């Protein structure tokens, strides 16, 4: 562990049957992990449990055994299946008590909320919910509600030894809003006094094989020692992340230089920026606008380009021609081209890109047409066949893809590849 044996480690418990069964994906664990890194706390393990007391107890004991801090998210609502506060009280050996002053404060928040949203509800039901939310472990440090649920910092009852448990609400906006107060709680401040913020170094590649990267890393593994290097493939991008204490910066520099020496031409980011960032910056630098003409991606590329704040500065719009008629009538793809080459062809992708430029009035046009499946494949053009074209005032790129995976994956990979083709066109021409 290059982080040093004195590193402060936190464990995270995410509660909720809806998360355990995958109906809702957890946004809190990853966010907390990143926030903890920024204050120098390393995350050991995350446990997801349903709304069952026994499993929550087991998860807490498990993490308390070898972590300096445990953080829970969720289970603070007004309904009976929200049981985190009571279970944490039990585990820390503290009785649960109604805090009348807290009950009053929550009552005020709930009333204001109902008035603002013009909601009507049964007053008795509301009061019962408020009472439940104001019932907290005796002696706990209360974090004021951001929504209606208070958070808690709960130490073991006097005479027992163990880590503090920070209890946070499940809705991401409430959890995030409460985070500064959690960091300022005396027990947390005391822990943070022992930490050094961990740095993170990220390198992203497009077009290098994981096996080749592994071979490069093996060559220098003795020199890297116990540096924590994590590589992952995501949507076709290869990402290498190291988290490290400032003292081992030289090993991170060696890693970075080795990757640049061996795979420099496929490295597209060394500062944590995403392909979206790189594309936005390149468009802005040139003063160019972009528009998309999409078929199989159904608007996903336009949605991705406009996901960034400020994208109205360079995104003009999108036409999705899901029906072939629209490709012709609205985007000017000649019916003869569709007839001769089929909707999924380099010719049609290029005509779509040109159409996006002309019809929407943009400098750069992107055309995407393909077969996302599960139906529609042929022997010549099986499911996963996608044609991309990017056209700028000064150049063009086209590419045919044979993508594996299901409909969602084919659409996602088409979008990511289109962004990289756009990046390559913007950053490689005129050099």
- Report the DSSP pairing between strands 96-98 and 135-137: antiparallel
Task: For residues 285 and 221, give the distance between their C-alpha atoms in angstroms, rounded to a whole number.
Answer: 39
Long-range contacts of 320-329 (CB under 8 A, 24+ apart): 320/293, 320/294, 320/295, 321/293, 321/294, 321/295, 321/352, 322/295, 322/298, 327/293, 327/295, 327/351, 327/352, 327/355
- When asked if residue 21 is in the footprint of its own copies (CB under 8 A), the reply is yes
**379: phi then psi, degrees, rounded to nearest 5:** -65, -45
Task: Please say which residue, 278 or 300, places its beta carbon nearer to its own copies.
Answer: 300
Nearer to its own copies, 230 or 429 (CB): 230
Q: Is position 37 an interface residue for its own copies (rule: CB under 8 A)?
A: yes
State how far Cα 366 lies from the chain centre.
26
- Under the binding rule (CB under 8 A), the answer on residue 85 touching its own copies is no
- Strands 8-15 and 69-73, bridge-based pairing: parallel
- For 212, 264, 276, the CA distances from 207, given in Å and listed in that order, are 11, 11, 17
Q: Which of residues 347-406 bind its own copies (CB under 8 A)?
A: 359-361, 373-375, 404-405
Instruction: Considering only the stretches 85-93, 134-142, 280-288, 313-321, report the one whose residues sit in contact with its own copies under the rule CB under 8 A.
Output: 313-321
**96-98 vs 69-73, strand pairing mode:** unpaired
Stretch that binds its own copies, among 91-99, 238-246, 280-288, 391-399 (CB under 8 A): 238-246
Q: Measure CA 379 to chain center.
A: 37
Q: Is 186 in the site for its own copies (CB under 8 A)?
A: no
Q: Which of 2, 41, 47, 390 binds its own copies (CB under 8 A)?
A: 47
Piece of 92-100, 156-164, 252-260, 304-312 that binds its own copies (CB under 8 A) = 304-312
Q: Which CB, 108 or 184, lies closer to its own copies?
A: 108
Is residue 30 near its own copies by the rule CB under 8 A?
yes
Q: Is 29 helix (H, G, I), strand (E, B) or coil?
A: helix
Establish if 297 lies at the interface with its own copies (CB under 8 A): yes
Q: Which of 107, 139, 298, 342 binds its own copies (CB under 8 A)?
A: 298
H/E stretch holding 12: strand 8-15
Scanning residues 111 to 150, which ones bind its own copies (CB under 8 A)?
A: 119, 121-122, 124-126, 128-129
Part of the chain binding its own copies (CB under 8 A), chosen from 40-48, 133-141, 244-252, 332-340: 40-48
């Amino acid at each position: 562990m290059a982080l040093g044996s004195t590193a402060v480690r936190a464990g995270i418990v995410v509660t909720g049957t809806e998360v355990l069964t995958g109906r809702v994906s957890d946004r809190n664990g990853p966010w907390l992990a990143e926030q903890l890194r920024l204050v120098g706390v390393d995350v050991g393990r995350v446990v997801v449990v349903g709304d069952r007391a026994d499993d929550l107890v087991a998860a807490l004991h498990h993490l308390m055994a070898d972590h300096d801090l445990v953080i829970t998210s969720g289970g603070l609502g007004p309904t009976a299946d929200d049981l985190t506060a009571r279970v944490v009280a039990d585990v820390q050996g503290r009785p649960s008590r109604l805090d009348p002053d807290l009950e009053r404060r929550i009552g005020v928040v709930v009333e204001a909320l109902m008035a603002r949203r013009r909601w009507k509800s049964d007053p008795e039901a509301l009061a019962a919910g408020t009472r439940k939310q104001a019932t907290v472990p005796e002696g706990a440090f209360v974090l004021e509600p951001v929504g209606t649920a208070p958070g808690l910092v709960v130490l073991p009852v006097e005479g027992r030894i163990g880590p503090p448990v920070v209890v946070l609400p499940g809705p991401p906006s409430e959890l995030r809003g409460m985070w500064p107060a959690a960091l300022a709680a005396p027990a947390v401040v005391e822990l943070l006094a022992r930490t050094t913020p961990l740095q993170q170094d990220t390198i992203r590649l497009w077009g290098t094989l994981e096996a080749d990267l592994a071979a490069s890393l093996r060559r220098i593994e003795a020199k890297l020692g116990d540096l924590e290097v994590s590589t992952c493939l995501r949507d076709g991008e290869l990402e290498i992340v190291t988290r490290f204490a400032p003292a081992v910066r030289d090993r991170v520099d060696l890693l970075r230089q080795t990757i640049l020496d061996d795979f420099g031409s496929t490295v597209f980011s060394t500062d944590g920026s995403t392909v979206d960032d790189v594309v936005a910056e390149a468009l802005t630098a040139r003063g160019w606008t972009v528009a998309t003409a999409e078929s199989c991606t159904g608007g996903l590329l336009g949605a991705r380009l406009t996901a960034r704040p400020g994208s109205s500065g360079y995104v003009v719009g999108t036409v999705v021609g899901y029906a072939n008629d629209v490709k012709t009538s609205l985007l000017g793809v000649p019916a003869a081209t569709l007839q001769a080459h089929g909707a999924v062809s380099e010719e049609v992708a290029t005509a779509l890109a040109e159409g996006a430029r002309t019809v929407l009035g943009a400098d750069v046009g992107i055309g995407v047409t393909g077969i996302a499946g599960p139906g529609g494949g042929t022997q010549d053009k099986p499911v996963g066949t996608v044609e991309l074209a990017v056209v700028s005032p000064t150049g063009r790129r086209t590419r045919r893809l044979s993508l594996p995976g299901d409909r969602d994956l084919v659409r996602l990979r088409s979008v990511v590849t289109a962004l990289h083709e756009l990046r390559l066109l913007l950053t490689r021409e005129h050099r």
